[in-house]
Chains A and B, each alone.
Chain A
Amino acid sequence: MPVYIGKRLLVAIPTLLIISIFVFSLQKLLPGDPILAMAGEERDPAVIEFLRDKYRLNDPVVVQYFYWLGGVLTGDFGISLRTNQPVLELILQKLPVTIQLAVMAMFFAMLIGIPIGILAAVRKNTFIDYLANVLALTGLSIPNFWLGIMLILLISVQLGWLPASGYESIFVDPVRSLQTMVMPAFVLGNALAATLMRHTRSAMIGVLSADYIRTARAKGLSPREIILSHGFRNALLPVVTLSALLFGELLAGAVLTEQIFTIPGFGKLIVDAVFNRDYAVVQGVVLCTAVGFILMNLFADILYVLLNPRLRAAL
């Protein structure tokens, strides 16, 4: 197993290089000038020239890239053009926020998606199945920003149960931290729940029609045992893969949800950075997100092996 993990991590390096080159060149293709955006309303030419030099924007793109890469390899991700803060510091500030939101959103997605998926599979083609389908479709179709604003208006403004937006670190004030994150996590999780529910349902239907389930029934096991121990464990494989991938996506930040609930995570950081052409920040966040995604993929593969003993021989 360690050899397998080591190999996978080695393969990740070229992937990350390619991603960083791709993002770097794409950014340079964007119209707009970061220095102009940050020079202020007055746009003093001397300042513009100085800043261009300071951030090496006069060098050829390839040279700029290698400066950036050299910095990253020595732990220097560059400096935000907009706020003068080191990019690494920004990332470390936002990463816990994004992870917390992703974990809580995943919790909601699984809490809603998996039980309804199982129920829909067990009661296939009944009223319950149809209702679950309608729910899933609704969850997928409601835009995040609309649901977010409706929840704020209902729960915060009308009922006054939860803060309307904002963020508090879980290490500073855990209760308030959870309070501020519940609504955004629910909004995000709700959309993912629909996908998860559909996949759980089809995986369960496949498994429940297998021969060994019939055998289990013939043995006289209770339906509960059949569905959860025999059926669901085997149906878990595709669900695990999907969950890991969805979680990886969440790590990239949830732009709209973060914007509405004013959560200072990756999504807001990268959108602001793109609008301000804050190249170093965009590069840093994308790299960090890519690492997260690769790790989640690896995690899914490892879980796969743990869940399915047959695969262990293949390692």
Chain B
Amino acid sequence: MNPGPIEFASLSVIALLVAALLTPLFSRRQRLLIACCFGLTAAASLLAVVAGAWTVSRGNAEKIVMLIGLPDLPFHLRLDPLAGFFLVVIGLLSLFVSVYSIGYVKGFLGKRSVTSLAVFYCLFLAGMYMVVLSDDALIFLISWEVMAAASYFLVIFEDERIENRRAAFLYMVVAHVGAIAILLSFGVLAGLASGFGSFDGYTFDAMRSASFPIGGATAAFLLAFFGFAAKAGVIPLHVWLPEAHPVAPSNVSALMSGVMLKTAIYGVIRITFDLIRVFPWWWGAIVLVFGLLSAVMGVLYALMQNDLKRLLAYSSVENIGIIFIGVGLAMIFTSFKLPLLAALALTTGIYHVLNHAMFKGLLFMGAGAVLHATHERNMEEMGGLIHQMPWTAALFLIGCVSISAMPPFNGFVSEWLTFQAFLLSPSLPSPLLKLLIPMGAALLALTGALAAACFVKAFGVTFLGHWRGHHRPKVQEADWPMRVGMIMAATACLLLGILPTLAIGWMDAVPQQLIGTSLGTSAGAFGWMWLTPVAYERASYSGPIVFFGILAIVIAAYLLLHVRPGTIRRVPIWDCGFEKIDRRMQYNATSFAMPIRRIFGFLFNVKERVRISRRTAHRAFPARLYYSLHVRDRVWGWLYKPVIRASFWGARKVGRLQQGRIQAYLIYSFVTIIVLLVFLR
């Protein structure tokens, strides 16, 4: 038998599970454990990438019925182009992060045992691979839970701090509320596919061949979208994300933000385009509206943060929003039978999935390197790290430029394609949509511009200027495994930016499978250099020319200006003659975001207080000034507080049933049996 892609993928999952089992045996020799475990996960990830890439380029599907499962309900696995694409996304980033982890996890040596981190890291990866491979509702939900549980243990890894335990608990609650919704959604679909009396509808194949009544399908879609949105961190279900992602170890944050959120995108695409297939346009409108909301609010929240990893977590909310914009547009176009435009919109969505995985992974790895070196997450204390950490700074800068949608890096390509998809919406037959959808383009433009401001702040305050903190730690550059992990991710960002035609040509199997049309003929019609979605006259972009053009002009200008040997004189900063210039006088994270906070402040719950010290002799010459600023999510107060209060209230009321006396409990059982006998004979 010739091994095909699905055998490779299964082998990768098995390797991860074996690694998870064997790792505890090495717990005495932590250094060896780190090298072996993360080396093995890197190899397994590479295997998954190969399997996925192979499937996508072959463009067909392979299936396996597993020998294990529930009695008479075996588990099914399937590797089709959609699954293959997500396998590549997950595998690629886990490969980079695994290499990075070899260096990063060493930072915990001597502080705590890393055995649990390694074990759950393997399980987490295996869970993500299984989610995209599964082809029936049962194994999907089991893998989903493995992924959620493993990531819970990873979030709580440094469990001595109360905020970590709180964050992990919140994460667990939201993940499970979402999982229940997904379970119910599959229940509805399976029931409608095979009748509620039989169990045969649990496979995805049965759902694919069934046709659903609109009411049932809508219920299933809404439940699934709620469940997956909770996992993806779509506003207003995002509250766990900025709590859980920052407190996890940075290699895990990179995976959670970079790829775990994408499994939710995968779920939405799988359920709508593959399982339900026929849907009305307003499903797409729902996805689009929540996507736009998440994009704009996510980036505004990100701008307000002073914690580097929290900022990155909120920016993931924004990017998930951008991905959902693409998916939502694809759904709208599909429902109006415009397959080419749907293929374009879907391609923008999944291309951003890949791009966001690369740059957000890179940024979290960079933030991890900074945390590793300075033991500091608060940007207000940082500054000037570019001098001590030149590698990390340059690589983090590439991540910042990519995420801010600047050419010639990859973030720009997916944003540009999304704009093109927006501009094609006038070909929709509905006048209302024609009018409203271009407004979405304006919100996307706002998001892009605010993201640039956000990452000028993130990079500028962290790496530029002088150190802002009171005590100055000894900072060392990240070691080689960490650098290599980041270099690989940065290279991917650049290559996906300057060679988008090749990547999109390769990805074409996915829209081909889901929509039946591929973009390929138009995207590459003018050779690999030109990205021309839809038509050459319509729009075109050439990543290589922009990149090499700028490079050539920069080099030419540099050489021309250095014909005459000039000297560069290094002098202290010009201090306007006061001679009292201080590191604390620099702009910091709070002051940088101040104008934007003032303009968009009505969207947040801002509490700003300034108090002059009592011991000041005169108001004009304050001895000491106290300034405090709190920016909070309004969503928390509006949506979550009432729910929390209601559930506590309910719990107290139900708690009254607990008398602690055996007689009372016997009466409860007796009454229950009577009731059941009466009503359910």
Partners in one complex: no
A residues near B (Cβ < 8 Å) are none
